């Protein structure tokens, strides 16, 4: 099964995935994303398309679909990809795109799951991997794990535990979906 990882920033989840599974390429929507440096260091091909380079989001997503098709990608793994998947990409790859979200959905959807959970004062949050649909973090859950907020936690320590849970969960889910390890 051929996978591609989409990321917009740091790429720590990409690195965890690429160290354990063959990744065909990483895709980013930012030319200065650190994930591109991680990909280079791991010998993984990378591609960058920025929305501003296209006439509209449809044209942007058509270019992404062409890239995925050219590489015969079976599964797209969103890992900190901060663009909402639009109808063009979703239609072409429906049932073949997964996302990781740093909260226990349906709690705290959207771009700031960790901070939103922290600010709400909850005693636990978590990590969710789900299928991508036309909503924001509304797709069918594949697997979730709870992460406690401990007494004396600062936002940073809570965030670190969330990320540690992500690094464990994504490989488990990929393996369960039939992606073979290196």
**101 flagged as catalytic:** yes
2 marked among binding-site residues = no
The string over 9-37, giving b where at least 16 C-beta atoms fall within 10 Å of a residue's C-beta and e elsewhere, is bbbbbbbbbbebbebbbbbbbeeebbbbe
What φ, ψ does residue 76 adopt, rounded to 5°?
-100, 125
Q: Catalytic residue among 101, 112, 130, 163, which?
A: 101
12 marked among binding-site residues = yes
Q: How far apart are CA 14 and CA 36, in angstroms?
A: 10
85 marked among binding-site residues = yes
152 marked among binding-site residues = no
10 marked among binding-site residues = no
86 marked among binding-site residues = no
43 marked among binding-site residues = no
Helix (H) or strand (E) holding 45: strand 45-48
- Answer for the pair 165, 101: CB distance below 8 angstroms, yes or no: no
| Residue numbers annotated as active site | 101
Q: Which residues sit in the known binding site?
A: 11-13, 57, 82-85, 99
């Amino acid at each position: 099964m051929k996978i591609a990882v989409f990321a917009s920033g740091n790429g720590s989840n990409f690195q965890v995935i690429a160290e354990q599974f063959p990744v065909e390429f990483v895709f980013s929507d930012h030319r200065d994303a650190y994930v591109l440096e991680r990909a280079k260091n791991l010998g993984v091909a990378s591609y960058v398309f920025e929305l501003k380079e296209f006439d509209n989001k449809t044209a942007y997503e058509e270019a992404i679909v062409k890239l995925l098709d050219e590489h015969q990608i079976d599964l797209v793994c969103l890992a900190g990809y901060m663009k909402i998947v639009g109808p063009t990409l979703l239609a072409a790859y429906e049932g073949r795109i997964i996302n990781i979200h740093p909260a226990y959905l349906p709690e705290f959807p959207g771009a700031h799951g960790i901070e939103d959970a922290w600010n709400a004062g909850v005693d636990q949050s978590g990590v969710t991997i789900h299928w991508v649909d036309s909503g924001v973090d509304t797709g069918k859950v594949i697997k979730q794990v709870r992460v406690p907020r401990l007494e004396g936690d600062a936002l940073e320590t809570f965030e670190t535990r969330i990320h540690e849970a992500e690094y464990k969960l994504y490989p488990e889910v990929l393996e369960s979906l039939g992606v073979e390890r290196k």
